[in-house]
Amino acid sequence: IERTLVLVKPDGVQRGLTGTILSRIEAKGYRLAELKQVAASRELLEKHYEEHVGKPFYEPLVEFMLSGPLVAAVFEGHRVIEGFRSVAGTTDPTTAAPGTIRGDFGRDWGVKVQQNLVHGSDSPESAEREIGIWFA
């Protein structure tokens, strides 16, 4: 069975959208296999975002992810990686389609990094790598 790592980022937790976000994923039919709230360490986030080292939004992204608690979850089901990314919407919340998490609840707040509520793994390899980081 395919698995994916989902994070409700600090903006989603702070705005009280954790339950709404998780329930949309469950309602699509995926199974919630693991769930916890965490205050991530810089070390953990540097591993999680190693592919983005050197990009202009890297440091603001890590700072944003350190700004408050986040919720880490594992969902499972056939094609859950693709399915979650469809439920989440595109990266930029300003233009993400209505009906998606980012499209319905996200916007541009005029800060350095896109605060787009959720993260989802982008391939089976990154899902297994990320689940190992967050649920060691």
Please give the residue whose beta carbon sits closest to ligand GTP in the complex: 91
Cβ(52)–Cβ(58) under 8 Å? yes
Is 105 assigned a ligand-binding role in the annotation? Answer: no
Q: Which amino acid is present at 128? A: E
- Has 119 been annotated as catalytic? yes
Q: Nearest distance from residue 104's CB to ligand GTP, in Å? A: 16
Query: CA 64 → CA 3, 19, 99, 115, 116, distances in Å?
Result: 26, 21, 25, 8, 11
Q: State the Cα torsion 102-105-109-114 to the nearest 10°.
A: -20
Q: Nearest distance from residue 128's CB to Mg ion, in Å? A: 15
Is 94 assigned a ligand-binding role in the annotation? Answer: no
Site residues, ligand GTP (CB under 6 A)? 57, 61, 91, 112-114, 116, 119-120, 122
Considering the candidates 48, 52, 78, 119, report the single residue annotated as catalytic. 119
Out of Mg ion, ligand GTP, none, which partner does residue 102 contact, by CB within 5 to 8 A per kind?
none
Out of Mg ion, ligand GTP, none, which partner does residue 113 contact, by CB within 5 to 8 A per kind?
ligand GTP
User: Strand order of the sheet with strand 118-120?
Assistant: 31-38, 70-76, 3-8, 118-120
Is 57 assigned a ligand-binding role in the annotation? Answer: yes
Name the β-bridge partners of 81: none
Site residues, Mg ion (CB under 5 A)? 122
- Catalytic site residues? 119
